[in-house]
Structure 1
Amino acid sequence: MKQKIAITSLASISPLGNNPDAIWQNYLSNKTLISTKEFSGKNQFVAEIPSEIRSEIEVLRKSEIKYKALDETVLLSILVSRQAIKNAGWKTGDNFGINIGSSRGATQLFEKHHKEFLETGKTATLTSPTTTLGNISSWVAHDLKNNGPEISHSITCSTALHAVLNAVAWLQSGMANKFLVGGSEAPLTDFTIAQINALKIYSKALRQAQCDNSKSINNNVYECHAEFVEAYPCRAFDLTKTKNTMVLGEAAAVACLEIGENKNALAYIEGIGYATDDIEHNISISEEANCFQKSMKMALQNTNLSDVDAIVMHAPGTLKGDSSEYKAIIKVFGTSTSSAQAQIPMLTTNKWKVGHTFGASGMLNIEMAILMMQHNQFIEVPFAEKQTIRKQINKVLINAVGFGGNAVSVLLCKE
């Protein structure tokens, strides 16, 4: 990094809420925000945004005729982008860059139009322009009356962190001095849920097979029964699980980035790293997540490993995803000591609480990291093995990886 990049604002809409106080209070609770909803005639675990925020989306949809036909990914992006630039003190009409991506894009709208086509043989006039991926950043730019570069991309679940990488390159090149970055995902649809179920990685109700014995969690012994299994449908960072437990959530999150020191900085980007795995299968990741080892080492190349206080893991709740990332962390942080645990930072994830929000997940990880640094409080995974809690949280590493093994690591610091 030639210069630090300041994060001067962050706004999100997720199952956690849409304001920092509510989001933090939800993090302090050990309760998951995952519930059940019917898809294709079957109850599935999902994490939805609160109903009161859903009403804000509908208000926006009805506010102007041009917004009526937009997908929820776009509407969510507009709402969080308005809030982010307001918090940062940016003005509409400024020439900042915009890079907001999505793994799936306009899933809800595409499925709606495709169903209509199958039933009638016809499609609505605006089907094509409102279901393209570039639709997200271009509509945000239109809403904010922005004249800077507009970029949308899909790099699966690492999309939001790739937007950060891209913005850092623009900022350090001198081609821009401000960038709005993030991701948006509204994947709770019949077809998307069916696709993830087909991969056999989705969480199933009453996973009794995991309950052969009682488990000791946070020093409390829980009897093996359905209520406990249902309490945490996504077992992200539970390294003892025997089943895949991924759950989908919906969210949009964006951050305002500015070059150099800034009195309004929530945190600074101190290091960035990226890598792609040499995969053997479309969705696989190597046994010890070589991509994460490379991306973390790149992000940490000018940092003393002992200075990293915490890592917000990608940890999607799958057997391979969780274990391989953990092994990669041990490889990176445990090599300079006889005890592999001696230098391991505190490890956490938020997917047990909010599900996997695909393209938005990396920015939610950044939000979690910033909140932990601001409150100087580590958010533990309630069913994970207990860790030694550090007194200060000054540096946090954030990880994300998507189908194809495209890993990104971003190192944040308080100042």
Structure 2
Amino acid sequence: MEFKRVVVTGLGALTPIGNSVPEYWDGLVNGVSGAALIKSFDVTKFKTKFACEVKNFDADGFLGRKDARKLDPFVQYALFSTEEAVKDAGLDFEKLDTSRIGVIWGSGIGGLKTFLDEVVNFAKGDGTPKFNPFFIPKMIADIAPGHISIKYGLRGPNFTTVSACASSNNSLIDAFNYLRLGKANMFITGGSEAIINEAGIGGFNAMHALSTRNDDPSTASRPFDLDRDGFVAGEGAGTIILEELEHALKRGAKIYAEMVGGGMSADAYHMTAPHPEGLGAALVMKAALEDAGLTPQDVDYVNVHGTSTPIGDPQEVKAITDAFGDRVYDINISSTKSMTGHLLGAAGAVEAIASILALKHGIIPPTINHFTDDPAFDPRINFTFNTAQKRDVNVVQSNGFGFGGHNASVIFKKYQQ
């Protein structure tokens, strides 16, 4: 069977460093940190008091106050980034077969804020179950693609992928596979997350997963730095329009890049810790390359998972060294989480957008906040520390690894007819 080709025709982003794709990209190439003291709740008694929050987002202005109250923030974010992507792709759904357009969305947790509020309100009462009728439909992780399909009248495949921090990489891979098998013409895909609340920060603090650099939040996310002490929580959404090539050409769409492969694997090791030798991470990168029909020599840039955790970063470096061999010294590596923080289930989509724009502009976004070399890492590896670098980029790979040992990696290349 001959696979159909799949291209990227639209992008949308809501991030801690920009509320649109141009703003997000400008923040990336200029090394802007999105981390600051948390404003959305009282952090006085919390171990970590900062995060990468979305800034100047007006849900009421975007959706109207009545509709905004019916939606958890992770759905609000999804609809916002999707509107930008739909406009960017020049989509007029009245002229398209909407039964052949689907939505596959990723979220690691879903409506955590809604769940927290409802349970706290119940606990404060007298035991009488007075729950909001929107409680369940606001909370469930699959509701974001449901709302996207309702807004635009899309009747193709519709579901959510949940694989922790690999969720939206998995959503991209699923959409890619449906398209190349001819099961649909187009997908709105990506991911969103909204966990900067008492439960999210408190829960990750209890795991000792978050940085506690409260005296200097803007430099707290330090991937591959000797003094890294945990990840910085982020929130937001990223939307990518994936489209079957002939369908895109027929409607005269602009094309950002071609998606050419995706890999998936499991660590089969621990519920939260990555395999210490990076076996699952190496396997997933090799699987994605094989799926794309490429070799390590073809890759120019890897947007790594790179969360800034003491145990996570070393295993990914081991995995990349295993997967790429000597080519590891010729590619650029960077972690954009140093700027956005870790968007969990939305990370894969937001970082795929960064990778696609690196292809488009020939600029590698940096890994900021590097102060001290870690002797555990080979100094010949180019982590793109602190400053963006220009280079000709033809193929990019983007990694996402999640609690439970879930690994997913996607590959894009410059589009050629």
Determine the structure 2 residue equivalent to 1:330: 321
| 77-86 vs 396-405, greater mean Cα deviation | 77-86
Q: CA deviation at 1:153?
A: 2.8
Structure 1 position 379 matched with structure 2 position 365: yes
The count of corresponding residues between Structure 1 and Structure 2 is 382
Q: Secondary structure at the match of 1:372?
A: helix
Query: Any idea what the Cα deviations from partners look like across 1:236-281, whole Å, max 9, x if unmatched?
Result: 232x23x5321101111111101126451111111211101121x3
Contact 2:13 2:24 in 1 (8 A): no
Identify the match of residue 234 of structure 1 among 184, 207, 221. Answer: 221
Confirm whether residue 130 of structure 1 aligns to residue 117 of structure 2.
no
Change (3 A) 1:111 1:365: same
- CA deviation after TM superposition for structure 1 residue 290, in Å: 1.3
The range that moved more, 391-400 or 297-306, is 297-306
2:254 to 246, 255, 264: 264
> Is 1:287–2:291 an aligned residue pair?
no
Matched residues in 2 for 1:323 and 1:230: separation?
Answer: 23
Structure 2 partner of 1:299: 288
Runs of 4+ in 1 over 6 A off after TM superposition: none
Counterpart pick for 1:41 among 42, 45, 50? 45
CA distance in 1, matches of 2:324, 2:93: 44
CA distance in 2, matches of 1:205, 1:332: 33
Aligned to 2:155: 147
CA pair 282-47 structure 1, distance change in 2 beyond 3 A: same
Corresponding letter in the other structure for 1:173 = L
Asked if 1:406 is matched to 2:406, the reply is yes
- Counterparts of 2:70 and 2:43 in 1: how far apart (Å)? 23
In the alignment, is the contact (CA less than 8 A) between 2:364 and 2:391 conserved in 1? Answer: no
**What is the CA-CA distance between 1:4 and the residue it aligns to?**
2.9
Which SS does the other structure have where 2:311 is aligned?
helix
TM-superposition CA deviations, 1:329-351 (whole Å, max 9, x none): 001111xx4xx7544x2100111
Task: Write the distance in 2 (CA, Å) between the matches of 1:354 and 1:256.
Answer: 22
Shift of 1:40: 5.7
**Mapped contact 1:9–1:88 kept (Cα < 8 A):** yes
* Pick aligned residue for 2:344 from 347, 358, 368: 358
Aligned to 1:248: 233
Q: CA deviation at 1:231?
A: 4.4
Deviation at 1:67, TM superposition (A): 4.2
Deviation at 1:230, TM superposition (A): 4.8
> Per the alignment, do residues 58 and 41 of structure 1 end up closer, same or farther by CA in structure 2, a change over 3 Å counting?
farther
Partner of 1:369: 355
Shift of the 25–271 alpha-carbon distance from structure 1 to 2, 3 Å rule, reads same
5+ residue gaps, structure 2 = 374-380
**Worse-superposed segment, 311-320 or 33-42:** 33-42
TM superposition score normalised by structure 2: 0.86
Q: How many angstroms apart in 2 are the aligned matches of 1:379 and 1:300?
A: 22
Where do residues 44-59 of structure 1 align in structure 2 (5 Å cutoff)?
Answer: 44-51=49-56, 54-55=57-58, 57-59=59-61
Q: Does 1:189 align with 2:197?
A: yes
Residues 289-312 of structure 1, C-alpha deviation per residue, up to 9 Å, x if partnerless? Answer: 211111111111221322211100
2:206 to 198, 203, 215: 198
Q: Distance in 1 between matches of 2:149 and 2:218?
A: 41
Give the fraction of aligned pairs with identical amino acids, expressed as a percent.
25
- 1:212 is aligned to none
Paired with 1:61 and 1:407, the residues of 2 have a C-alpha distance of 34
Gaps of 5+ in 1: 207-225
2:140 aligned with 1:114, yes or no? no
Aligned residues: CA RMSD: 2.1
SS at match of 1:195: helix
* 3-state SS of paired residue (1:332): helix
Instruction: Say yes or no: does 1:312 pair with 2:319.
Output: no
